[in-house]
Structure 1
Amino acid sequence: MISLTGVRKDYSTEVAIGPVDLQIPEGGITALVGPNGAGKSTLLTMIGRLLGIDEGSIEIAGCDVASTASKDLARIVSILRQENHFITRLTVRQLVSFGRFPYSKGRLTRADEEIISRAIDFLDLTALENRYLDQLSGGQRQRAYVAMVLSQETEYVLLDEPLNNLDMRHSVQMMKQLRRAAEELGRTIVIVLHDINFAGHYADRICAVKDGRVVEFGTPDEILTDEVLTRVFDTPVQVVAGPNGPLAVYY
């Protein structure tokens, strides 16, 4: 479980995150949704300890994020931020191998190599593993970064807008692979998404964030309603019945 208690981050007298009290259960996919600037990515980076908090506490699997040693935390939770810019020219396999650093410290064992290969295979990158990142399409490159995170083999995986710059086909493909990771690999995935319909279709739980606070938390059926989405996004939303569940329509 990921537990946030009284979490607060102050930027100015007008801009702040929190206080946030939130419990994300173990297993499945939890999607963080909300308007631009709501604080979704900030919340995720605080959970992953890439950003400090000013007040409160965050625990992952019973470990206090602020006080747990980095080497231990890196075996519990992995995080992928939006800004994925490696200056050094890397192949797909070299990139994915970075996920093993908390265990190998750069000296890969045969077991590490097997885990790297499994992550590459899982994201359908085997034919591309010796290609350089700058030779890949945006969708292929994004899959490589997710493979790197999965190769870290943490129970908890945090992903900040992994669908950025992906077209519809690649977005669907990515969400299907994350769904498989949750179900087949037993990962607990927390993901920031802009598209509420992707959240509704692929997530087990949706956490709606607005003005730096969690305003709704529940199942897709509980969150995908006219009243809730209109209030969260400050624009008229109608939820209609789709072939695979509810769909939000903006007008």
Structure 2
Amino acid sequence: MIQIENVKKSYTSEAAIGPLNIEIPKAGLTSLIGPNGAGKSTTLLMIGRLLDSDGGRITVADMDVSSSKSKDLAKVLTILRQENHFVTRLTVRQLAGFGRFPYSKGRLTNEDEEIISKYIDFLDLTALENRYLDELSGGQRQRAYVAMVLCQETEYVLLDEPLNNLDVARSVQMMEHLKYAASEFGRTILTVLHDINFAAKYSDRICAMKHGRIAAFGTVDEIMKPELLTDIFETKIEIMQGPYGPIAVY
């Protein structure tokens, strides 16, 4: 599981995260939701050790994130942040191959190649695997980065806004892929989402944040309450029952 104990991050006296205390169970898909500035991405980056906390303790699979060796943590935890800055001339397959670095150290084996092909196929990128990243649409690049993350084959996967640059159809497809990866591959996926209804349809659990604190954490039915969401987002939200579960209506 992911355990966060009294974790804090301060930027100014008026901009601070925490203290955060939460246990995210192993396996399944958990979504972080909340208004802009709630602290969702900051929390994810601290769990992924891309941002230092100012106090508290974070453990992933009983490994202390702040003190574990990078080579060991990289076999347990992987993270994809919002801003991807690869500007070199890489193909989709080469990018996905970076996910195998903790194991191959740059020398890909036949097993590595099979794993790369598995996730390129999984994300419907086979026809694009020899295309360069700068030749792709934003949505195609986003799927390529997710393929790279899945190729690392860690038990824990952190994704910051994986639906960036995706249209509605591709967003649905991406969430279906992530849900399948969580259920069939046994991954523990923690993702930041801005769309409440995508979170409601595909998540096993939802963590709602507001003003740098955890406002609520629970199952979809426990979080998809009009009073709770209205308070968190500070705008009136109603809940309707759709064919696939609760739907938030603004």
TM-score of the pair, normalised by structure 2: 0.99
**How far apart, CA to CA, are the structure 2 residues paired with 1:56 and 1:249?**
37
2:59 maps to 59
Identify unmatched segments of 5+ residues in structure 1: none
**How far apart, CA to CA, are the structure 2 residues paired with 1:97 and 1:168?**
28
Moved more, 118-127 or 227-236: 118-127
1:224 maps to 224
User: Could you give the per-residue CA deviations for residues 1-26 of structure 1, whole angstroms, max 9, x where no partner exists?
Assistant: 00000000111111110000010000
1:87 maps to 87
Code of the residue aligned with 2:38 in structure 1: it is A
**How far apart, CA to CA, are the structure 1 residues paired with 2:88 and 2:23?**
38
**How far apart, CA to CA, are the structure 2 residues paired with 1:231 and 1:248?**
13
SS at match of 1:22: strand
**How far apart, CA to CA, are the structure 2 residues paired with 1:198 and 1:109?**
37
2:119 maps to 119
**How far apart, CA to CA, are the structure 2 residues paired with 1:119 and 1:242?**
32
SS at match of 1:8: strand
| Matched-pair contact (CA < 8 Å) for 2:158–2:190 | yes
1:99 maps to 99
SS at match of 1:83: coil
Root-mean-square deviation (CA), in Å?
0.7
2:162 maps to 162
2:15 maps to 15
1:184 maps to 184
* Superposition deviation, residue 224 in structure 1: 0.6
**How far apart, CA to CA, are the structure 2 residues paired with 1:64 and 1:141?**
32
* Superposition deviation, residue 31 in structure 1: 0.1
**How far apart, CA to CA, are the structure 1 residues paired with 2:244 and 2:73?**
38
1:203 maps to 203
* Superposition deviation, residue 134 in structure 1: 1.4
**How far apart, CA to CA, are the structure 2 residues paired with 1:136 and 1:165?**
12
**How far apart, CA to CA, are the structure 2 residues paired with 1:248 and 1:177?**
23
User: Could you give the per-residue CA deviations for residues 46-97 of structure 1, whole angstroms, max 9, x where no partner exists?
Assistant: 0000000110000000000001000000000000000012110110000000
Identity in percent: 68
Paired residues, number: 250
| Matched-pair contact (CA < 8 Å) for 2:48–2:78 | yes
Moved more, 104-113 or 20-29: 104-113
2:27 maps to 27
